[in-house]
Amino acid sequence: MMMLRGLVPALCILAAVLPAPVAIALAPPPAPEVSTPPLSVPRSLEFFYDLYSFRTDGGGTSVVAAIAVPVARLRRERKDNRVRYRFDVRFVLADTASRAVFHTEDSVFVSTPRALSRQHLLHTYVEVEAPPSAGTLQRVVVTDASRPGVGQLYTTPFPVPDYSGDDLMLSDLAFGLPDASGGWTRRGVTLALLPTSQFPESSFDIYYEIYNLPAGNSYETEISIQPLEDDGNDDPDERAVRALFSGESAARADGSLAELRRVASALDKGSYRFTITVRDMVTGQSAARSRLVQVRGWRRGTTMVAAMPRGLGR
């Protein structure tokens, strides 16, 4: 590895930025028609999420939603001398052109000996496979399983990428906490996925896939971390941390190669643009992906919990 320019001794990456989501609080259930005081309107359920896309072996696209919910937003329950938190997740991809809908409905259940900090994050992931389409809408709904009518919905256009063809391409860049004992698993790699707006001031992993890089071809990977806070004294490009890696492709028969990088040093609180650029030194082709990451600087604590088909684990 050769460091080209640097402020910290290690690096990694992220991918395409989602458009700003539109928040819609779910309506509470109607008040009963009896002479009782009116019910108070429950608050919405704040949560954070990111979407990451990858090529499937069948030619479609897998879209993974990384979701995090602050414990303070969930009702705390007690059962069998333990504390539990529950929420449900619905993830939908709707193709407006073909009118096809792809979705999953899952539940998250956490049981602990004692109550978690109110700032603690419970995070999970759900995954849906869909055909590529420029006219797809995405919708993520999270509801408190113990309080009917309390939840939040985010929906935006989300073109599902097409990873077919022969050109050199990169998947999205997926970010997760290192040394995960459980979480999203793909090609032998396990990531405790977190939304990019909620990263602590610690080390983290970045996973991505390179497509159409033939086995045996030499290639280079450049990783750039650019701080976005401008103090007025420096050119942001000049303050970027960059590193260059070179190697020989060990791609599968379909020309795809998975890579895992780690940012081994904690980044200071602030916003950063992560960019990965891959160059095939044989064909001369290059491909790049960028994503914004917000390092919060807090140590609120996180727990990765596997989502289960809705109705199980209650």
| CATH annotation of 2-24+44-309 | 2.60.40.10
Bridge partner residues of 100 (DSSP): 95
Query: 7-16, 112-121, 207-216: which range is least confident on average?
Result: 7-16
Give the tokens for residue 133. Answer: 């389409």
The pLDDT of residue 280 is 97
Residue indicated by tokens 């604590």 = 301
Bridge partner residues of 50 (DSSP): 66
DSSP tag of 238: G
| Secondary structure percentages of the chain, helix, strand, coil, to 5 | 0, 50, 45
Q: What is the dihedral of CA 199, 200, 201, 206, to 10 degrees?
A: -40
The backbone torsions φ and ψ at residue 33, rounded to the nearest 5 degrees and listed phi first, read: -85, 65
- Each domain of the chain, given as residue ranges in start order, spans 2-24+44-309
| pLDDT confidence band for 231 (50 / 70 / 90) | low
Give the tokens for residue 221. Answer: 């990977």
Residue-wise pLDDT tens digits, 34-93: 333 343 444 689 999 999 999 998 888 999 999 999 999 999 999 889 999 999 999 999
Query: 22-36, 85-99, 174-188, 273-287: which range is least confident on average?
Result: 22-36
Helix (H) or strand (E) holding 192: strand 189-193
| pLDDT confidence band for 240 (50 / 70 / 90) | confident
Nearest alpha-carbon partner for 219 in 251, 252, 241, 187: 251
Mean pLDDT of the chain: 83
Residue-wise pLDDT tens digits, 155-203: 999 999 999 999 999 999 999 988 878 899 999 899 999 999 888 877 8
The pLDDT of residue 177 is 87
Three-state SS at 71: helix
Taking the model in full, what pTM does it have? Answer: 0.82
